[in-house]
Amino acid sequence: MISPETPPDERPADVYYYGTCLVDLFYPEAGLSGIRLLEREGVRVVYPQGQTCCGQPAYNSGYSSEARAVARSQIERFSRPWPVVVPSGSCAGMMKHYYPSLFDGDPFLERALEFAGRIHELTSFLVRVLRVRLVDRGEPARVTWHTSCHALREMGIRDEPASLLAQLERVEVIPLARESECCGFGGTFAVRHPEISAAMVEDKAAAVAATGAPTLLSGDGGCLLNIAGRLEATGQRVRPVHIAQFLWERTRAR
């Protein structure tokens, strides 16, 4: 599935890292793990301290002018021509696909397009650009994987997480029933339509529990927060972990 190593000259020397607000606040260890995974491949990682949020919450709620103001402030902090790696398919999708439409007819459009062209979701960047080779140093483990809707449908991330997990010799991935069905997060949707959102996350958490795997992996903070909240509320002993953190913890030299 993945061809041999990238020639050294195609590997970028520097990358930007866009942590996302949810990882910043709820999964900072996962964020840092993503940085470590990139650094181990010999790229210099730059984390602009001025970054905040991609603006998706406002955009999805119909408040484009607010989203535009925030988007602009983000783009301006990532001005060098380096790839921007994002440990979230959802935020990556926002920046790649919706930033340009926010600046439709605006002189800033060109910069938005240039920025959008540099956006990479983390697992995809590890697999397709850096072509990482992972060495499993962990104990045998069983996990299940939840794909995020935006990673799947906006960023086209299908095989990348699986191909990374497949490199870990002692990790068994138990398939999740209805894997590609939404977990019910949807940002403000969870607040606007709490009962429907709850019905969705109940089903998702039940499917996770039914796999019997003690660890749930996902590549998006929103899904993790949502499913983890439900698992915890129902007393399920499943540990929700961001894939970046899981990969780093299992492969780091001890």
> Least distance to another protein from the beta carbon of 142, Å?
24
Least distance in angstroms from the C-beta of 169 to another protein: 28
Which residues are 141's β-sheet partners? 171
249 binds another protein (CB under 8 A): no
Per-residue DSSP letter, 98: I
Non-local (6+) Cβ contacts of 123 within 8 A are 157, 160, 161, 164, 219, 243
* Smallest separation (angstroms) from another protein to the CB of 222: 10
Q: How many degrees, rounded to 5, is the angle at CA 151 between CA 150 and CA 157?
A: 145
- Burial grade of 126 (CB within 10 A; 0-12, 13-18, 19 or more): buried
Among 186, 211, 241, 243, binds another protein (CB under 8 A): 186
> How many CB atoms neighbour CB 57 within 10 A?
16
**Residue among 82 and 123 whose Cβ is closer to another protein:** 82
Which of the residues 53 through 72 are near another protein (CB under 8 A)?
Answer: 53, 55, 57-67, 69-70
Strands 14-17 and 239-242, by their bridges, are unpaired
Which residue of 131, 142, 193, 239 would you call a contact of another protein, by CB under 8 A? 193
Bridge partners of 166, per DSSP, are none
d(CA 196, CA 2): 40
Joined tokens for residue 128: 């397709």
Q: What is the DSSP letter of 246?
A: H
Among 40, 167, 174, 202, binds another protein (CB under 8 A): 202
Segment interacting with another protein, rule: CB under 8 A, options 108-116, 122-130, 224-232, 244-252: 224-232
Residue carrying structure tokens 């990479």:
120
The distance of closest approach from Cβ of residue 4 to another protein in the complex, given in angstroms and rounded to an integer, is 26
Rounded Cα distance, 55 and 72, in Å: 10
Applying CB under 8 A, among 12, 32, 132, 241 the residue interacting with another protein is 32
Interface residue with another protein, options 135, 169, 170, 180 (CB under 8 A): 180
Least distance (Å) between residue 213 CB and another protein: 20
Within 10 A of 195 (CB to CB), how many other CB atoms are there?
7
Nearer to another protein, 88 or 168 (CB): 88
| Residue 23 found at the interface with another protein (CB under 8 A) | yes
Q: Which of 200, 208, 238, 241 binds another protein (CB under 8 A)?
A: 200
Size of the site for another protein (CB under 8 A): 71
Under rule CB under 8 A, residue 210 binds another protein: no
Task: Report the site for another protein in 35-54 (rule: CB under 8 A).
Answer: 35, 44-53
